[in-house]
Structure 1
Amino acid sequence: NDNAVTDTVIFSAAIGVMISGQANLLSGVHCYNKATGFGGTGIYLKLPGLTQNRIVNSYLDYTGIIAEDPVQLQISGTFFLGDAFILLKSISGVVKGVNIVDNMFSGSGNGIPIVQLDQSRKAFGDVDQVVVDRNSVNGMASRSTVAKGSVDGNGTSWTVDFNPVLLFPNLIKHVQYTLVADGFPVHALRNVSGNRVIVETNA
């Protein structure tokens, strides 16, 4: 607990940093250890349910971050190179107070998501105050908790599928939409299940 790791380069280790206590700060840490593609992990947060750690202004060099049931976790200002990504691993299905913002991700163009979920043990059922947004992505698949989209055409029903962008499946809590049409049709938001927003009109 209560440690600071700053301006440090980690080389040649299966796990670069293993964290099992709260209130730690990692800043300026360059994880250049065993690559994720070969089974390595840059930073492993193994304290499910009460994480309370900050990872800022660091460099994940071909190796990523794993966080078990993260509660109060900040990852920002960090550069992820070589398809390195963040994995949120479910132990009891809890993820709360997580901010993954203002990071840079650079990959090889294989469509690897920048943030991924491991729900093999249990699905994330307790999700609250999670923000994944404002990340710069090149050569990887962006994931976010905020998304926008548009659709046009003739008809009375319009669907926008946000599954390619949203991190959590079937979890849209708020929708704001604008309908532009000839005349003044009656319109309504009909459904948001499966991360698909459906708006219908009467004409």
Structure 2
Amino acid sequence: MSQSLYERGFSVGSAGNISAAVDDVILMTPTNSCLGFLDPVKISKVTRDGRHLSGDQPSKEIFLHKAFYETRPQAGAVVHLHSTYATALSCVTDIDPDDCIPPLTPYVVMRVGQVKLLEYVRPGDEKAGDLIRALGGHYAAVLLANHGPVVTGKDISSAVYAAEELEETAKLLLMLRGLPKRMLSDENVVELKSVFGAY
């Protein structure tokens, strides 16, 4: 799935990282690796508290991943991308920081949920983990200001699909800026959550 993300431009160069929680360990893309050309032998294996066990060194963004696993027990995977439209949206100053991906389509409600904008911190700064822990597990996805999205899912597939849905919704939101928009109503959102659940 990481190669597909790379080939479709959701991640460029060595940007972005993916992890999966398997039992008591986290498998993660290594630092400075390209999602399009991953070597399984080099995948980083770390304990839940971040101790490196095998493979190459994990991404410097491991703090983001660990914080989500600590606060969202249902999370089985985390995807962090620098996808174009979600990153562009993270640079816009007039979005609602508590709900920066509003309910424009049913699938963003079903697959992503409410998205929190987190303040800018340097990539690899442990403070990013603290900001995610402070959310208490209430958000399955966040936008890092001027940086990009971080999305969780119950497994790799659902996390990737949610990250893709967030990116496409960010694209729609930017395309529709300045135009009158029809959002889903509160009643629509409640119905979607009651029928399909909320991750």
TM (normalized to structure 1)? 0.24
Structure ranking higher in helix proportion: 2
By relative contact order (CA 8 Å, sep 6+), the higher-ranking structure is: 2
Larger CA Rg, structure 1 vs 2: 1
